[in-house]
Amino acid sequence: MWKNQRIYILGAGKSGIASAEYLAEQGASVWLNDEKNIEAFDPNVLEKLGAKGIALDLGREADPLSVQADLIIQSPGFPADKPVLLEAAAAGVPVVSEIELGYLATRASIMGVTGSNGKTTTTSLLGEIMKKAFQNVFVGGNIGTPFISEAGKLTAEDWAVLELSSFQLETVRSFRPKIGLILNLTPDHLDRHKTFENYREAKWRIAQFQEPSDWLVLNFDDPMVRQGVEQKSAIKSRKLFFSRKTELAEGVWIDDRGMIIVSLQGERTPIMATSEIQIPGAHNLENVLAAVGAAFAAGVKPEQIAQAIREFKGVAHRIERVEEIEGVLYVNDSKGTNTDAAVKALESFNRPILLIAGGLGKGGSYHEMIEKVKEKAKWLVLIGDDAEKIQEAALAQGYTQIHRAGSLEAAVDFCAAHAASGDVVLLSPACASYDMFKNYGQRGDVFKELVRALPGVRA
């Protein structure tokens, strides 16, 4: 398919490099561009790419038209409104994401998970469930390994469980998951998408190319999701709703005994009791219900679904218990990179909270988060670029228990000095990490290191 094609890749991150390697192996002529200088990259990686015949176009703005590119691969971090992409579109050069490339390269059945919050937890849980029923299951996409790295190796009997961001979905042109999930829709990445409507449209592209034999698993409790279903009358896939609040004639819900039930085609199938779920919080209950619906649609047996959920302890950086020191629980929610995630993290505890928040903002409002802070937090400890904006929002709503810390280390030290037995110190930034850290994972790892260096930690 790609032999002798001229393909230009925007962004030399994980997915860009993986795409370049795959396409070069398929016989394409490949250019890999990144505005970062050559010194920013591992020389061993660059040597490996060069040995495969990949042209390294580093340290300057992209110029795909100069090499007469037949196709452009847009890495997730490369904004769609860059002039170079507008020029390419005007010239008729197609632009796709690495996820689209992976879809074209694979024979596996795809399960795609998107939404504003809960993607990583749900994707990881689904991966564990699917492994109970199928011999070969790839888990990746927006987490872990880029899809294209393994897509061509998967067979028609295999499954790929993919976390999908709005950045990855906005340029799909034929991507068709056998089972798609939309967990929830709240404002996020407005710095990139400009409007909530643009962001929602990107998310709904997960279902755009589905057929009547495919499934779309949806959150009945989310008004934006339900509104989207009403508006998207052209979507062909079968809808399977999940709800933690409402009994559904068709869908996944919880009965008055606390039992998860799947109702489908007139039959009710009990799965397990909610009391057996290991991961805390109402939002994680929603994630479990979504995973139950998707796995059931894929043909996984109820007992296999239940066993995987009972064994699942959660994912790193998402409401992750770090240590309990002299009665104070330290929790790492570094993956909480928007305000809705921070609200859900605050709602997960019935103990006084010292919240560490702040970082690189995404252009949204902090009003609803501060409402929850007023209800749940004894201190709001702020770091990063958006600290002043969050402080202004808090003061405007009458919340004054605010401390500005110059670093994450200073924030942890302040919390350790002001927390009492029974409190929770919660890192849930409501912001991206790039002002102070390489990514949310590094931010979370630093937080865990700082906590484990505090006096009173048991060796």
Mind listing the pLDDT tens digit for each residue in 355-386?
999 999 988 899 999 999 999 999 999 999 99
pTM score, whole prediction: 0.83
Residue 444 has pLDDT above 70, yes or no: yes
Judge whether 310 and 276 are in contact, CB under 8 Å. yes
Nearest to 218 by CA among 314, 296, 114, 308: 114
What single DSSP character describes residue 281?
Answer: S
Residue that the structure tokens 């330290």 belong to: 330
Q: How far apart are CA 134 and CA 147, in angstroms?
A: 18
Q: Which residues pair with 389 in a beta bridge?
A: none
The CATH architecture annotation of domain 6-96 reads 3-Layer(aba) Sandwich (3.40)
Arithmetic mean of pLDDT, 243-247: 97
Residue 205 has pLDDT above 80, yes or no: yes
Query: Helix 302-311 vs helix 119-133: angle between axes, to the nearest 10 degrees?
Result: 130
The reported pLDDT for the residue numbered 115 is 95
The reported pLDDT for the residue numbered 189 is 57
The CATH architecture annotation of domain 99-311 reads 3-Layer(aba) Sandwich (3.40)
Arithmetic mean of pLDDT, 408-420: 98
The reported pLDDT for the residue numbered 188 is 60
The reported pLDDT for the residue numbered 220 is 98
Q: How far apart are CA 424 and CA 395, in angstroms?
A: 23
Q: 320-452 belongs to which homologous superfamily?
A: Mur ligase, C-terminal domain (3.90.190.20)
Residue 19 has pLDDT above 60, yes or no: yes
The reported pLDDT for the residue numbered 378 is 98
Neighbours of 230 (CB within 10 A): 7
Arithmetic mean of pLDDT, 423-441: 96
The reported pLDDT for the residue numbered 194 is 66
Nearest to 142 by CA among 14, 26, 237: 14
Tokens at 100, concatenated: 């689209």
Q: What percent of the chain has pLDDT over 90?
A: 88
Three-state secondary structure of 190-237: HHHHCCHHHHHHHHHCCCCCCCCCCEEEEECCCHHHHHHHHHCCCCCC
Q: How far apart are CA 180 and CA 109, in angstroms?
A: 11
Arithmetic mean of pLDDT, 65-71: 96
Q: Where in the chain do CATH 3.40.50.720 domains reside?
A: 6-96
**417 band by pLDDT with thresholds 50, 70 and 90:** very high
Tokens at 74, concatenated: 């847009």
Arithmetic mean of pLDDT, 392-419: 98
Tokens at 172, concatenated: 């799909």
Provide the b/e sequence for 185-205 (b: ≥16 CB within 10 Å): bbbbbbebbeebeebbbbbbb
Q: Where in the chain do CATH 3.90.190.20 domains reside?
A: 320-452
**311 band by pLDDT with thresholds 50, 70 and 90:** very high
The reported pLDDT for the residue numbered 76 is 80
Tokens at 407, concatenated: 């670093």
Q: What percent of the chain has pLDDT over 70?
A: 98
Residue 192 has pLDDT above 60, yes or no: no
Q: Where in the chain do CATH 3.40.1190.10 domains reside?
A: 99-311
**11 band by pLDDT with thresholds 50, 70 and 90:** very high
The reported pLDDT for the residue numbered 191 is 62
Judge whether 72 and 95 are in contact, CB under 8 Å. yes
Residue 449 has pLDDT above 80, yes or no: yes
Judge whether 102 and 147 are in contact, CB under 8 Å. yes
Residue that the structure tokens 């959920």 belong to: 309
- Averaged confidence pLDDT in the chain: 94
Span 22-58, pLDDT tens digits? 999 999 999 999 999 999 999 999 999 999 999 999 9
Phi and psi dihedrals of 276, rounded to 5? -90, -5
Residue 92 has pLDDT above 90, yes or no: yes
Arithmetic mean of pLDDT, 108-133: 96
Q: How far apart are CA 454 and CA 306, in angstroms?
A: 38
The reported pLDDT for the residue numbered 80 is 76
Arithmetic mean of pLDDT, 77-92: 86
Q: How far apart are CA 193 and CA 81, in angstroms?
A: 9
